[in-house]
Chains A and B, each alone.
Chain A
Amino acid sequence: MQAPQVFSFHGGIHPAQNKAQSLQLPLGRPSLPSELILPLGQHIGQSSRSISKVGDRVLKGEIIAINNGFLSSYLHAPTSGTITAIEERFIAHPSGLSDLCIVLSPDGKEEWTTLNPLNTWQTDAPEDVLAHLAKMGIVGMGGAGFPTQVKLQGATKSPLTHFIINAAECEPYITADDILIREKTLELVKGIEIFQHLVNAENVVIGIEDNKPIAIAALNTLLNERGSQIQVAVVPTKYPSGGEKQLIQLITGKEVPSGQYPADIGILCQNVGTCVAVHDAILLGKPLISRITTLTGDALKSPQNVEVLLGTPVTHLLDYADSQEKKLHRLIMGGPMMGYTLDSAAVPIVKTSNCILAATKKELPTPAPEQACIRCGMCEQACPASLLPQQLLWFSKSQELDKAEHYNLFDCIECGACSYVCPSSIPLVQYYRHTKSSIRETREANVKSDLAKQRFEARKARQDAEAAEKEAKRIARQQASAAKTASAKTAPSTGATPPVTTQPTAAPISDEAKKLKIDIAIAKTKLKKRQKELLTAQEAEHLEEISSLQLQVTEQETKLASLEKEFSKIPVANTAPTAVTETSTAVAKAPVSDELKKAKVDVALVGVKIKKLTKQLDETPDNQEIKDKISSLEIDLIAAKAMVEKLTSTSISAPVTAIQKTPISNELKKAKVDVALIGVKIKKLTKQLEETPDDQETKDKIAAFETDLIAAKTAVEKLSAAPSEATPSNHTAEPKAVITDELKKLKIDTAIAKASVKKVEKALKKAEEIQAPEVDAIRQQLKEAQQRADDLEKALANPDALQLQPQSKENTEKAAAPINADADKKHKIDLAIAKAGIKKAEKNILLLKEQGKDEAEIIASEWPAKLIEAQAKLENLESQPSPEAQLKANIETQALSKTTEKATENADIQADLAAQIKKQKIASALAKAQINKLAKRLESTPEEADSIQQEIDATRIKQQDAETLLAQLIQSKDKQENH
């Protein structure tokens, strides 16, 4: 068979061989020692776990310790005997430290346990074979002691190009593998075949140094006999060709990349000793309990190789090889290059012990003292890993761990070649070993500190969570107790805005009312307290507290509201003192039916709601939505009051006051009920409308109902004319003048017209926004509606014997000169109309401009004038209901007791004036802005100077008008206030 090609590797040295000494004698078999010491950590990885106890009798080959994790191994009894101790003993380790060992006292019977050869290894799954190997305690026997099954698992992941059997044995003195090959050639080859079966590599090569001719010959002979595909690569003798990576390089020419394993480049390397052990384990079922070790050195009279049981103390072997105590200077485990000095000869042979070197002083003198590095570079020449030993030395000396790592310190195989060649006798390898240890320690410390940090943070998180949970529980408890005390009080209704504090005290109240009042006070206090707590919680940002407190506050509010509701049941007349005067205080005293009570409650509630909204309206006077709501509520109020009246009249058998002596006819009742019903319907529809503000149908319906309502009200008024006359004493605050039914009707019509104008206006706005084509149609509609409103307004003004001809500017002049109270009012209305007209005109003109129409068109369209007029009218109409909303209580009085308008009007106008002044100011500002804008345009486009100048003039006039109006308005306001 052709010998495979052999490559070379960088560096290497040629120390004296010294192999002949131990080859003089055949393989020896020492007698059983008195005790076997079996360290639990004979391999790389986790120490084995002892499964035997002291005093147990074990048979040869019996498992005494099992694997402890993935990277671990089994341990077997090397011979039959008794376990005498499991204790700390000195072990073969450079540190000279002790470790846990199983101490076995042999009984000399060599009684084997049942052997379980794996005869089906060729058909079994590789995993099963590996498991069997693991159970047999096979580890790499070259030196590192890496569990074989783990190494094979890594190798079987990818296809292998080479399976290399390491028989190089490059280190001086050691001949264990040489003898092994000679003695157990067949077993070796069979072991290799088992491996090959498991890994199925393309090439199987035995790498052997050329200093073992007998072994090479034996191998070749056997392989030829068997016709095996296994190749024998004879490599030149050079230290350290037995290094795994160096041998791979010798045989394949490939270098294992830094930080990688041979398996990564498709190569598996196994020691010959391991192969034999695998053979024994698979074919004989014998676990790894013995090995071949070289006993050599000048201190031994009969150096030789011995097949020795694991755990045999070195002293026993030294005795066997006739050690001369006097000559023995240093006892070394391993070879002279990579071995370490044993402090004690009591240490046992382990799975990786391939040599005991008992050297004399002459043979291995004390290392020469270290001298300064002369930078000769010989170390670099010798380094088989192509590193820079000199650099690594500097970094090691200065403890620059990062840099040492960066210079691939971990690729150093600690072969000692650099130290060997160093002329300054620097113990380079020891430096490297120390630095490697330091780096490992740092890494471990980092891992540990990370773990500690993790645990610390986890603990903190847990404590925080616990604290939060406790707090939540505490709050829940508090809440529960609060709810308990609260449930002892009363029931719910609305909420949100607290107190109606203006509960009358003048009116006599029943005991019930008193009690309720007290309850209300308590509830209010609680509410206040909760609100305070909530505030503090919000400030402190206690989220959980906030939500729980918020709940409590709402609860309290609900309670309070319900209490108030109940309370209001009793002094109904007082909640709306100006309203329903017919039923006033006496009603409260009189025993009333439940229904009546209910109705009164409704009245009170609506009253409260109106009050609330009025307040809101005061804050935001332009909020149309609130105004609408108020008007709808007013209708409700009317309905509710009607109900009350009706019920009062039916339950009149009870004693009533003088006021109620005026009998209300059944017809009146009926009419009032109608009013109420229609009111309710309107209310419903209004609600719908709020949800769907664009629903034209609903709007129409509302308008229809409003008409009905007016009719009904008119009827009520007619019927109640007499009773109302009989009760003037109740309206001391009101002027004496009486408004006719007609006037009232007119007013209502006006209101409706106003509403429709508004509606149309809204639609127009929308249409303009979306540039809808029916803009003009809507405008037409608007005009009509305004016209109608205008007519009505005129009619309304007539009864007061004052001619109202709403026109724009001229009328404003007149408006500024009030003669008496009525005239004053009329003038002010005129004023408002004029103002609004201007505003509208501005808007429309602006709109037209935006639509891209030019000046001429705008003027031609006559929109300015028209809209001024129309809008003026609209504004006039608007001015009436808005104060109505603001002072709905007064309006209520008007509607039901037919008092004169004057007082209301006065108040109306005052409020109206304020709003109008505001509007006027805005209009003036707008006009100014427009002038500015136009002036700018004039500058930029001088060619359009004429038209722009016209615009400016027009706007200026508008502005002046607005300002004049504003001045007048302010003046009249002052006057009004003086009144």
Chain B
Amino acid sequence: MFTVLLAIGILLLLALIFGAILGYANVRFHVEGDPIVEQIDAILPQTQCGQCGHPGCRPYAEAIANGEAINHCPPGGQATIQALADLLDVEAIPLDGDHGTETAIKVAVIREDECIGCTKCIQACPVDAILGAAKQMHTVIADECTGCDLCVEPCPVDCIDMVEVGVTAKTWSWDKPQGIAASSINIIATDRQTEVSH
């Protein structure tokens, strides 16, 4: 009887000790898990364009966290959908055409001599990328413009154009090689060599 009690006692003691250690570790090494909304929000392109039907990227991130489809973000395009699919471990689906199509990166440009200085675009810009004052000409800070399109609609004189951001020598990048498929006709190099010699 005593042995049994002793065994139980020891086990109890061990349980208490380890319980205490675990409890301490839980408090001491508590990791604040990165909330999923933050992670989703980090993937979204932050254009704040509202094409997804939400007032900004964060609300859409919250909606995705609550189960909304991941393919409602045209500015992010397929790359964003892929990243979201990887993060959420769901299937990458094609972009939902109802919300718009993936287009090249654009910036808003105000035709400055037509601007009447109504400040409506300034109020519409979600990232404060338009500079100007009432009855003064406005202009877009191109570096800050996310190309969200929201300033075009309110302009009473339609003097805002969405212009594609061209590739400069600084932003240019090498093309991806065409790969094996493109050159599969000439798969035997000696064939080509013969051609050359002619």
Point out residues on A near B: beta carbons under 8 Å.
Answer: 41, 91, 93-95, 97-99, 361, 365, 368-372, 397, 425-427, 430-431, 433-434, 436-438, 440-441, 445, 448-453, 455-456, 458-459
Interface: B117 (CB within 8 A): no
Sample of 20 A–B contacts (CB below 8 Å): A41-B170, A94-B174, A368-B192, A369-B183, A369-B189, A370-B179, A370-B182, A371-B180, A371-B187, A431-B177, A437-B174, A438-B173, A449-B44, A449-B46, A450-B46, A452-B46, A452-B146, A453-B41, A456-B48, A456-B56
Report Cα–Cα, A458/B192, bound state, in Å: 61
Q: Please, which residues of chain A bring their CB within 8 A of the CB of B180?
A: 369-372
Contact B176 A434 (CB under 8 A): yes
Q: Please, which residues of chain B bring their CB within 8 A of the CB of A430?
A: 174-177
Q: Please, which residues of chain A bring their CB within 8 A of the CB of B175?
A: 430, 434
Contact of B174 among A91, A369, A397, A433 (CB under 8 A): A433
Report Cα–Cα, A437/B179, bound state, in Å: 18
Interface: B29 (CB within 8 A): no
Contact B177 A434 (CB under 8 A): yes
Residue with the highest number of chain A CB atoms closer than 10 Å, among B173, B182, B186:
B173
Report Cα–Cα, A440/B173, bound state, in Å: 9
Contact of A41 among B44, B169, B177 (CB under 8 A): B169
Report Cα–Cα, A458/B196, bound state, in Å: 64
Q: How many residues of B contact A (CB 8 A)?
A: 35
Contact of B129 among A361, A371, A455 (CB under 8 A): A455
Interface: B134 (CB within 8 A): no
Q: Please, which residues of chain B bring their CB within 8 A of the CB of A97?
A: 167-169, 172
Q: Please, which residues of chain B bring their CB within 8 A of the CB of A434?
A: 173-177
Q: Please, which residues of chain B bring their CB within 8 A of the CB of A95?
A: 167, 169, 172
Q: Please, which residues of chain B bring their CB within 8 A of the CB of A370?
A: 177-180, 182-183
Report Cα–Cα, A450/B38, bound state, in Å: 12
Tell me the nearest residue of chain B to A361, going by C-beta: B196
- Least distance between B111 CB and chain A CB atoms (Å): 21
Q: Please, which residues of chain A bring their CB within 8 A of the CB of B45?
A: 445, 449
Report Cα–Cα, A970/B156, bound state, in Å: 86
Tell me the nearest residue of chain A to B75, going by C-beta: A449
Report Cα–Cα, A369/B186, bound state, in Å: 7
Q: Please, which residues of chain B bring their CB within 8 A of the CB of A459?
A: 126-128
- Least distance between A952 CB and chain B CB atoms (Å): 36
Tell me the nearest residue of chain A to B172, going by C-beta: A95
Interface: B144 (CB within 8 A): yes
Known contacts A365-B196, A458-B128, A427 near B46 by CB under 8 Å: no
- Least distance between B187 CB and chain A CB atoms (Å): 7
Contact of B169 among A91, A397, A450, A456 (CB under 8 A): A91
Q: Identify 9 new A-B residue pairs, CB closer than 8 A, beyond the known A370-B179, A448-B46, A453-B46.
A: A93-B172, A95-B169, A97-B167, A370-B177, A455-B127, A455-B128, A456-B46, A456-B57, A458-B128
Contacting A at CB under 8 A, from B27-84, are: 41, 44-48, 56-57
Contact B146 A437 (CB under 8 A): no
- Least distance between B134 CB and chain A CB atoms (Å): 16
Report Cα–Cα, A737/B179, bound state, in Å: 123
Q: Please, which residues of chain B bring their CB within 8 A of the CB of A433?
A: 173-174
Mask for B140-184, Cβ within 8 A of A = 1, else 0? Answer: 000010100000000000000000000111101111111110111
- Least distance between B11 CB and chain A CB atoms (Å): 30
- Least distance between B35 CB and chain A CB atoms (Å): 16
Report Cα–Cα, A427/B175, bound state, in Å: 12
Contact of B127 among A93, A397, A452 (CB under 8 A): A452
Mask for B110-121, Cβ within 8 A of A = 1, else 0? Answer: 000000000000
- Least distance between A854 CB and chain B CB atoms (Å): 38
Q: Please, which residues of chain A bring their CB within 8 A of the CB of B178?
A: 370
Tell me the nearest residue of chain B to A432, going by C-beta: B174
Report Cα–Cα, A97/B184, bound state, in Å: 30
Contact B187 A369 (CB under 8 A): yes
Report Cα–Cα, A440/B172, bound state, in Å: 11
Q: Please, which residues of chain B bring their CB within 8 A of the CB of A448?
A: 46, 146
Tell me the nearest residue of chain A to B189, going by C-beta: A368
4 tightest A-B contacts by CB? Answer: A437-B173, A369-B183, A449-B46, A95-B172
Q: Please, which residues of chain A bring their CB within 8 A of the CB of B47?
A: 449, 452
- Least distance between B97 CB and chain A CB atoms (Å): 23
Q: Please, which residues of chain A bring their CB within 8 A of the CB of B196?
A: 361, 365
Q: Please, which residues of chain A bring their CB within 8 A of the CB of B173?
A: 433-434, 437-438, 440-441
- Least distance between A817 CB and chain B CB atoms (Å): 66
Report Cα–Cα, A372/B183, bound state, in Å: 11
Q: Please, which residues of chain B bring their CB within 8 A of the CB of A93?
A: 169, 172
Contact A452 B176 (CB under 8 A): no
Report Cα–Cα, A102/B49, bound state, in Å: 39
Known contacts A370-B178, A370-B183, A438-B173, A99 near B168 by CB under 8 Å: yes
